[in-house]
Amino acid sequence: MPEAWIGFNSRDRQRYWWRTGILTLALVGVMLAMSLTTHEPGKWWWIGGVGAFSVVVLLSTINSIYGQVLLTMTGLEFRTFVSRRVVPWSEVARIEKRQRVSRSGTWSDLRVIRAHGRSLTIPGTLTNRVMDAELERKQAVIQERWSLATGG
**DSSP assignment, residue 21?**
H
Cβ-Cβ contacts under 8 Å for 109 (sequence gap 6 or more): 97, 98, 121, 122, 125, 126, 127, 135
Q: Which amino acid is at 86?
A: V
29 vs 151, residue with greater confidence: 29
**Residues in a beta bridge with 107:** 100
Segment 131-149, tens digit of pLDDT? 899 999 999 999 999 999 8
The band of 1, judged by pLDDT with boundaries at 50, 70 and 90, is: low
C-alpha to C-alpha distance for 112 and 122, rounded to whole angstroms: 7
Q: Rounded to an integer, what distance in angstroms lies between the CA atom of residue 129 and that of residue 106? A: 8
Check pLDDT > 90 for residue 50: no
Domains of the chain, start order: 4-150 (2.30.29)
Return the pLDDT at 81. 84
Q: Shortest CA distance to 90 belongs to which of 110, 75, 79?
A: 75
User: pLDDT band for position 113 (50/70/90)?
Assistant: very high
User: What confidence score (pLDDT) does residue 150 get?
Assistant: 87
pTM of the model: 0.82
What pLDDT band is residue 12 in, cutting at 50, 70 and 90? very high
Look at residue 151 in the predicted model and tell me its pLDDT. 82
